[in-house]
């Protein structure tokens, strides 16, 4: 039975368990929030009520109530904009601002800061309280995430992302009173913790306390170095998100405009990580079929996501035999660029700079891992996020929405629809199934849409029949869900042949380096739909049918799973448990 109440004199009926904030949203009454963070499709509803910006007056109660965490009750009468509530909010905001740096113009979240936006909405144009401010050293220890605790407002949204959604357990409240912040225990640098650098804390943070390590200037420097040939690769999920940074609606596929913009920025070659995604499928599917035939080391776990791989190394090192040994598409691309492409183009590998544009902050960390370099030459030199690329395009004065549609360069720019869907949870597994089905059946099958592994659900299971062979598969996104699945495997409660795992809920389309969605999961749904539309539009939709991939094996690698392919395209994992 629904609960009936009134907000500002307007009657509203809501389901049991709803909050005052949810009831107000139903009436389209806006109550300001800061610490509240909700993502419906991932069942995330952070209600710490730590900031109290959302306080309202409830008839018959002596104290103001935080709307985000106060349950609606039958017959309740709520007033959102009484003078008492407005004064309380202004005082709270004044106090937050009094202990916050005033460097908004150079803050990485300038114009994306919810504290800044709230001050503007509430018309705060001068500081009421002036006094001491807390100060901490900036943490730039990792290759991926920058931490500026001077800007922490103790909203604890990052704590929810790290502990509840991802179950990594790195962040928690440290200190008391004026000196309280959210940080690793003992204020350790992130590089000295079990952080997997997924960047979900950066997506959740409403201010500039968490941001990515910025590599735009090293890219500019490389582009202007006449001794360097600079090539760029763009990940699948970038093309369905970068348009948002230029006012395009969520779900816009901006591949052609992005390619043109990259050429205008000065890149010598514009390539596609999708090429390497197809290459990944060749190696990973070969490994899958070999394991199924031998019955050993099952289930095979996908290895494309560096955040998930690092999570496994820290949290489940006893299972490091399970992931595919195939490198991620980013690293495969770097390895092929500095060998195969370098030879064809007549360029010395040391004079090649490979730049990646990724939706993921953990890719910055991955590129710097020691095993992904040979003779002191890194496979991938610089990684920037979707947001950083958008910044560079704006800095160059490029009018993104007016650009012509460009085409990727050959040979590392040719790809298939199977590669495009790597950007969505379930996409890697579906791409592998398309190739596995053909190889097992020995023919070019026409039914290639494995819809059972699609969607934003955190854990999906499916049984797939391929030419009489039934494969039990699972898809998992979000590390909290990965933990549940791996614990079931350890207990013998789950039986699969293949599992895809992505660190970020929803997959790469929700990566820590994507344009901020502030919890609006309709944006993520539209990005997901765009990836599958793009897949459908491709003339070739199976990785092994990519002509450039076929030539790569014929001219250079031999065959999938060959000794040379293993040397160049495979890796090993490290037990990182302390």
Query: Mind listing the pLDDT tens digit for each residue in 375-426?
Result: 889 999 999 999 999 999 999 999 999 999 999 999 999 999 999 999 999 9
For residues 51-60, average pLDDT: 95
pLDDT value for 169: 95
| DSSP H or E run through 203 | helix 200-204
Q: Where are the alpha helices (DSSP H) in 421-519?
A: 427-441, 479-490
Query: 359 is written with which tokens?
Result: 């939706």
What's the whole-model pTM score? 0.95
pLDDT value for 232: 98
pLDDT band of residue 248 (cuts 50, 70, 90) is very high
For residues 275 and 332, is the Cβ–Cβ distance under 8 A? Answer: no
pLDDT value for 467: 79
* Structure confidence by residue, pLDDT tens digits, 448-473: 889 999 999 999 999 988 878 889 99
Residue located via tokens 């990485």:
108
Phi and psi torsions of 326, nearest 5°: -65, 135
**Would residue 25 show up in a list of annotated catalytic residues for this protein?**
no
pLDDT value for 374: 86
pLDDT band of residue 179 (cuts 50, 70, 90) is confident
Q: Provide the Cα torsion 240, 45, 36, 176; round to 10°.
A: -120
For residues 332 and 367, is the Cβ–Cβ distance under 8 A? Answer: no
Task: Considering the candidates 35, 152, 195, 304, report the single residue annotated as catalytic.
Answer: 304
**Would residue 363 show up in a list of annotated catalytic residues for this protein?**
yes
Task: Considering the candidates 303, 324, 415, 477, report the single residue annotated as catalytic.
Answer: 324
Mean pLDDT of the chain: 95
**Would residue 48 show up in a list of annotated catalytic residues for this protein?**
no
For residues 281-288, average pLDDT: 97
**Would residue 504 show up in a list of annotated catalytic residues for this protein?**
no
**Would residue 162 show up in a list of annotated catalytic residues for this protein?**
no
Determine if the peptide bond prior to 299 is cis (ω within 30°): yes
For residues 419-438, average pLDDT: 96
**Would residue 284 show up in a list of annotated catalytic residues for this protein?**
yes
Task: Considering the candidates 287, 414, 430, 500, report the single residue annotated as catalytic.
Answer: 287
pLDDT value for 522: 94
For residues 466-491, average pLDDT: 93
Task: Considering the candidates 313, 508, 526, 543, report the single residue annotated as catalytic.
Answer: 508
pLDDT value for 46: 75
Residue 40 has pLDDT above 80, yes or no: no
For residues 347 and 292, is the Cβ–Cβ distance under 8 A? Answer: no
pLDDT value for 43: 73
Parallel/antiparallel/unpaired status of strands 382-385 and 377-378:
unpaired
pLDDT band of residue 131 (cuts 50, 70, 90) is confident
**Would residue 57 show up in a list of annotated catalytic residues for this protein?**
no
For residues 507-516, average pLDDT: 97
> What percent of the chain has a predicted confidence (pLDDT) above 70?
99
For residues 202 and 195, is the Cβ–Cβ distance under 8 A? Answer: no
**Would residue 304 show up in a list of annotated catalytic residues for this protein?**
yes
> What percent of the chain has a predicted confidence (pLDDT) above 90?
89
More confident residue, 176 or 512: 512
Residue 316 CA to residue 573 CA, distance in Å, equals 11
Least confident span in 5-19, 180-194, 442-456, 497-511 = 442-456
Task: Considering the candidates 22, 366, 388, 500, report the single residue annotated as catalytic.
Answer: 366
Chain centroid to CA 366: how far?
14
Name 133's Cβ contacts closer than 8 Å, sequence gap at least 6.
Answer: 98, 99, 100, 101, 150
Task: Considering the candidates 74, 371, 443, 487, report the single residue annotated as catalytic.
Answer: 371
Q: Which of 463, 449, 460, 469 has the alpha carbon at shortest distance from 535? A: 449
Task: Considering the candidates 310, 363, 460, 526, report the single residue annotated as catalytic.
Answer: 363
pLDDT value for 41: 63
């Amino acid at each position: 039975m629904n609960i009936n109440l009134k907000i500002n004199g307007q009657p509203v009926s809501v389901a049991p368990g709803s909050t005052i904030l949810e009831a107000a949203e139903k009436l389209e009454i806006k109550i300001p929030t800061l610490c509240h963070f909700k993502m419906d499709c991932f069942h995330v509803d952070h209600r710490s009520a730590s900031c109290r910006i959302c306080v309202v007056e409830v008839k018959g109660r002596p104290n103001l109530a935080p709307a985000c965490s106060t349950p609606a009750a039958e017959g309740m009468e709520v007033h959102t904009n009484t003078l008492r509530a407005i004064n309380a909010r202004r005082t709270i905001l004044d106090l937050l601002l009094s202990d916050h740096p005033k460097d908004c113009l150079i803050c990485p979240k300038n114009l994306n800061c919810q504290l800044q936006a709230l001050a503007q909405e509430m018309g705060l144009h001068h500081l009421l309280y002036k006094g001491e401010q807390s100060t901490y050293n900036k943490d730039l220890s990792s290759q991926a995430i920058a931490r500026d605790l001077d800007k922490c407002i103790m909203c604890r949204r990052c704590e929810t992302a790290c502990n509840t959604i991802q179950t990594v357990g790195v962040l928690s409240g440290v200190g008391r009173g004026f000196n309280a912040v959210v940080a690793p225990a003992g204020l350790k640098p992130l590089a000295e913790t079990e952080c997997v650098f997924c960047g979900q804390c950066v997506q959740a943070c409403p201010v500039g306390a968490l941001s990515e390590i910025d590599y735009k200037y090293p890219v500019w420097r490389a582009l202007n170095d006449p001794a360097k040939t600079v090539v760029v690769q763009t990940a699948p999920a970038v093309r369905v998100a970068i348009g948002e940074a230029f006012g395009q609606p969520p779900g816009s596929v901006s591949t052609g405009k992005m390619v043109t913009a990259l050429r205008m920025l000065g890149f010598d070659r514009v390539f596609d990580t999708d090429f390497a995604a197809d290459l990944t499928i060749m190696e990973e599917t070969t490994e899958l079929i070999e394991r199924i035939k031998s019955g050993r080391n099952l289930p095979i776990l996908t290895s494309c996501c560096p955040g998930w791989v690092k999570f496994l190394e820290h949290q489940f090192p006893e299972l490091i035999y399970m992931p595919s040994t195939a490198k991620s598409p980013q690293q495969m691309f770097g390895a092929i660029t500095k060998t195969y492409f370098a030879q064809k183009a007549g360029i010395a590998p040391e004079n090649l700079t490979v730049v990646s544009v990724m939706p993921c902050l953990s890719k910055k960390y991955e590129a710097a891992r020691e095993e992904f370099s040979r003779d002191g030459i890194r496979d991938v030199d610089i990684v920037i996020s979707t947001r950083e690329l958008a910044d560079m395009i704006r800095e160059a004065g490029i009018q993104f929405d007016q650009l012509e549609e460009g085409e990727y360069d050959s040979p590392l720019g040719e790809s298939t629809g199977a590669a495009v869907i790597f950007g969505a949870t379930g996409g890697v597994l579906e791409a592998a199934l398309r190739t596995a089905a053909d190889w097992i059946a020995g023919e070019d099958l026409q039914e290639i849409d494995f819809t059972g592994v699609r969607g934003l659900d955190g854990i999906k299971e499916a049984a797939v029949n391929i030419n009489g062979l039934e494969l039990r598969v699972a898809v998992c996104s979000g590390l909290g869900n990965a933990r549940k699945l791996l614990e079931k495997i350890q207990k013998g409660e789950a039986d699969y042949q293949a599992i895809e795992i992505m660190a970020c809920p929803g997959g790469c389309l929700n990566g820590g380096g994507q344009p901020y969605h502030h919890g609006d999961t309709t944006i993520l749904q539209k990005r997901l739909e765009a990836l599958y539309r793009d897949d459908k539009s491709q003339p070739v939709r199976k990785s092994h049918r990519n002509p450039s991939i076929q030539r790569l094996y014929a001219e250079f690698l031999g065959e999938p799973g060959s000794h040379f392919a293993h040397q160049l395209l495979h890796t090993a994992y490290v037990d990182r448990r302390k």
